[in-house]
Amino acid sequence: MEIIRSKDNPKVKRLSLLHDRKKARGEGLVFIEGTRLCEDALISGAMPSVIAYTEKRSSYAQSLIEKYGLTCEQIVMTDECFSKISSTSNPQGIAMAVPEPSLYKEIPFRNDGKDIYVVLENLQDPGNLGTIIRLADAFDLTAVIMTRGSADPYNEKVLRSSMGSVWHIPVVTVDSLPDLFSFFKDKGITTLSCDLNGKLLPESRIDLPAAYFIGNEGAGLTEETVSSCDIRVKIPMPGKAESLNAASAASIIGYVLASLR
């Protein structure tokens, strides 16, 4: 198989352009790299259109191709060329372009009385979003729900910080919070806002199913959202820190709610 040795090769240039989410989204693709992310995507059923790897990674790449029955385009390149398509400081020598997973059109509902949702209002930081997707997967939450103003769930930083969980947990984007609250009310789902003026979490009586809301990193939740929730809760912080970041708060509340099952 031909080994690409020039960074100016059209195939190298095309793959490097997929770091631009607008460009990648236009092609319906997500660019992923690294052994963990690539194999997690394959385990979850993703079928890449391209698999790119270095000469040193040929054996590993061929094992994936054989194991998952891949029939996609293969691109072999030098380490120097791979650095052109990589966004990490220490590239692992393997990457793929896979179809962008479809966001859920409807909100999943298990109907077992144990549904838990985390709702993100205008969450901007990709690292926070990826960490929250990962905790939702770890605690077996029903879904991650985001407003349209939130970060792109298939941003490379989100993918890396989610550690593959983006392939395992339903992610839903909603246009209307009033409609979302109507859904929760119809399903008998208790809604909680994470609010510094709320009742201490250990003292709050919370019943499942439940949905908890996490706000923007700087502005927090809008007052309209806080007032629409059934319960306001805050996490006890006996130390000197005034607040927790969005991912930390989401993790603590998610763990507490999951322990109610």
- Per-residue confidence (pLDDT) for residue 89, from 0 to 100: 86
How far is the C-alpha of 40 from the C-alpha of 169, rounded, in Å?
A: 13
Domain at 116-258, CATH from 3.40.50.720, 3.40.630.10, 1.20.1050.140, 3.40.1280.10: 3.40.1280.10
Lowest mean pLDDT among 26-40, 99-113, 119-133, 244-258: 99-113
Task: Give the model's confidence band at 242: pLDDT under 50 very low, under 70 low, under 90 confident, else very high.
Answer: confident
- Per-residue confidence (pLDDT) for residue 196, from 0 to 100: 79
Q: What is the mean pLDDT of residues 206-217?
A: 93
* pLDDT surpassing 80 at residue 232: yes
How far is the C-alpha of 125 from the C-alpha of 260, rounded, in Å?
A: 29
CATH topology of domain 3-99: 60s Ribosomal Protein L30; Chain: A; (3.30.1330)
- Per-residue confidence (pLDDT) for residue 156, from 0 to 100: 86
Q: What is the mean pLDDT of residues 37-60?
A: 93
- Per-residue confidence (pLDDT) for residue 172, from 0 to 100: 95
In eight-state DSSP terms, residue 216 is B
Domain ranges of the chain: 3-99, 116-258
The per-residue pLDDT for range 66-115, each reduced to its tens digit, is 999 999 999 999 999 999 999 888 999 999 999 987 778 889 999 899 99
- Per-residue confidence (pLDDT) for residue 247, from 0 to 100: 94
Q: What is the mean pLDDT of residues 48-76?
A: 96
How far is the C-alpha of 183 from the C-alpha of 75, rounded, in Å?
A: 47
* pLDDT surpassing 90 at residue 167: no
- Per-residue confidence (pLDDT) for residue 54, from 0 to 100: 97
* pLDDT surpassing 80 at residue 1: no
The runs of H, that is alpha helices, within the chain are: 10-17, 21-26, 35-43, 58-67, 79-85, 126-138, 156-162, 177-186, 223-228, 246-258
- Per-residue confidence (pLDDT) for residue 166, from 0 to 100: 87
How far is the C-alpha of 141 from the C-alpha of 211, rounded, in Å?
A: 10
The per-residue pLDDT for range 15-43, each reduced to its tens digit, is 999 999 889 989 999 999 999 999 989 99
- Per-residue confidence (pLDDT) for residue 8, from 0 to 100: 95
Q: What is the mean pLDDT of residues 169-193?
A: 95
For all residues of the chain together, what is the average pLDDT?
Answer: 93
How far is the C-alpha of 235 from the C-alpha of 222, rounded, in Å?
A: 18
